[in-house]
């Protein structure tokens, strides 16, 4: 694990929260991205070498909608940057952590991601993420 890549925060209204976090952090978001596979709209803020990711449900079936229904807005996940996501997934599975996806999948912000079940990590939803190399023909045009 290399660093905390970002902290994910579930919000009801991305536009309003973008304005709020711009006030809080003193700088606006640098990107908005819809992740259709996760049914979310996201925005990203830089904070030092880490980021804040705001997540808004894009439809009622979104995991973010269910999260907010149950627990309200707030911190949703911690994302750790890894150099080799497949190796980390194997290592963590061998350590007894429950992986929520068997293969890395395409996440927001040009990342391959995998989630760990919160039940295996003291209630924390953990995201592993690995930057997708700029010109990797294997992942170009995935979406």
Plot region of 48 (φ>0 → left; ψ -120 to 50 → alpha; else → beta): left
Nearer to Zn ion, 81 or 127 (CB): 127
106 close to 85: Cβ distance less than 8 angstroms: no
Element containing residue 6 per DSSP (H, E): strand 3-10
Least distance (Å) between residue 40 CB and Zn ion: 9
Nearer to Zn ion, 80 or 97 (CB): 80
Least distance (Å) between residue 83 CB and Zn ion: 18
Contacts with Zn ion by CB under 5 A lie at: 8, 53, 79, 127
29 close to 18: Cβ distance less than 8 angstroms: yes
Least distance (Å) between residue 79 CB and Zn ion: 4
Closest-approach residue to Zn ion (CB): 8
């Amino acid at each position: 694990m290399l660093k905390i890549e970002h902290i994910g925060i579930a919000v009801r209204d991305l536009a309003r929260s973008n304005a709020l976090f711009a006030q809080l952090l003193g700088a606006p978001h640098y990107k908005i991205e819809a992740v259709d596979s996760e049914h979310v709209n996201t925005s990203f803020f830089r904070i030092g070498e880490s980021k804040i990711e705001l997540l808004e449900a894009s439809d009622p079936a979104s995991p973010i909608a269910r999260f907010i229904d149950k627990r309200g807005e707030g911190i949703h996940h911690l994302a750790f940057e890894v150099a080799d996501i497949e190796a980390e997934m194997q290592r963590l599975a061998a350590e007894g952590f429950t992986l929520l996806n068997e293969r890395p999948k395409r996440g927001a912000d040009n990342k391959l991601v995998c989630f760990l079940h919160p039940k295996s990590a003291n209630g924390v939803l953990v995201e592993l993420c690995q930057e997708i190399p700029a010109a990797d023909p294997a992942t170009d045009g995935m979406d």
